[in-house]
Structure 1
Amino acid sequence: MDEIQQLVAQNEIRNLVAQYAQHTDDTRIQEWTELFVEDARMEANGQPLEGRPALTEWITGVTSSMKLRHVMGGVTVTLDSATEAHGAADMILLLAVEGSWIIAGAPRYVDRYVKTEAGWRFAERILEDRPAKA
């Protein structure tokens, strides 16, 4: 992979991370689910999820029970090959409470990405809770 191809891949993966947040916040469940490969693995709050059906069920429950905003930043991407990469993204999670946004947490996603015919997709997403400590 030359430098231009690397930059293009990194940009596409950063867009994937942004789409994850936007599709969640906008309750675009089908589009959100398609950001993952069929047999993707995710771990959220210690709950392991395997495959698109489990992911769809989980995100439907999350988005139907609360209004969220994901503010993503600190996205790092390391290309392992032309079709595989890994990275991480820090997040500020906002929760709507009585008409205002409150900070609900500041976790980190640790990701593994694969390139498919449809573009870069999540193969694995691990949500690491990072509580504030005194």
Structure 2
Amino acid sequence: MSSLEERLARLEAERDILRLAAQYCHGADDNEVAAFLDVWVPDAVWNVGAHRFRGTVEIEEAVRRQWAATTAMFHGTSNSLIDVGVHEARGRHDVVSLAVLADGRRLLTTGRYDDVYARTSVGWRIQERRAIVVTSVEIPS
């Protein structure tokens, strides 16, 4: 059995990673570039299906394009599973998002985030996030 210190460290890491997942959503939804970029390591990979962005410069450009194409976004994650190692962790989160596009259409999307996290000098950060879309439907006004 693990020591109390090891178990506590694992619980703290899981909590820190859950907070990262929430900060990602809030940063994206509130158009807060500093909060959004703070969740990534500098050489992170953001894989959103047909597009793959490497490094925080490309990630920032991509999220700014997303913000320009929408008037509102809301992301919610749930059913999070996190496996913590010494220097790396992996996570899986179900996600539901609602986006109001610039032309007024509303899209409801469900899917999953598959993540790899790195322990850094400033805490846990996302090394790679793979967004997998399961469904995406237009919602009538």
Q: TM-score, normalised by structure 1?
A: 0.89
1:37 and 2:41 matched: yes
Aligned partner of residue 129 in structure 1, secondary structure: strand
Aligned partner of residue 116 in structure 2, secondary structure: strand
Matching residue within 105, 108, 111 for 2:109: 105
1:14 and 2:18 matched: yes
- Shift in CA distance, 64/10, structure 1 to aligned 2, threshold 3 Å: same
Partner of 1:26: 30
Counterpart of 1:69 in structure 2: which amino acid? F
Partner of 1:130: 134
Of 24-33 and 11-20, the range deviating more from structure 2: 24-33
Counterpart-to-counterpart distance in 1, 2:10 and 2:105: 37
Q: Quick check: which has more Rg, 1 or 2?
A: 2
Matching residue within 4, 9, 17 for 1:5: 9
How many aligned positions are there?
Answer: 130
Counterpart of 1:24 in structure 2: which amino acid? A
Aligned residues: CA RMSD: 2.0
CA drift at 1:48: 0.9
Gaps of 5+ in 2: 137-141
1:47 and 2:51 matched: yes
Counterpart of 2:75 in structure 1: which amino acid? H
- Shift in CA distance, 103/74, structure 1 to aligned 2, threshold 3 Å: farther
CA drift at 1:45: 2.9
Gaps of 5+ in 1: none
Counterpart-to-counterpart distance in 2, 1:2 and 1:88: 22
Q: Is the 8 A contact 1:94 1:101 kept in 2?
A: no
Partner of 2:61: 57
Counterpart-to-counterpart distance in 2, 1:82 and 1:115: 8
Counterpart-to-counterpart distance in 1, 2:54 and 2:80: 24
Q: TM-score, normalised by structure 2?
A: 0.85
Deviations 1:72-91 (CA, angstroms, capped at 9, x unpaired): 11111001x22210011111
Counterpart-to-counterpart distance in 1, 2:35 and 2:23: 9
Counterpart-to-counterpart distance in 1, 2:15 and 2:54: 27
Counterpart of 1:128 in structure 2: which amino acid? I
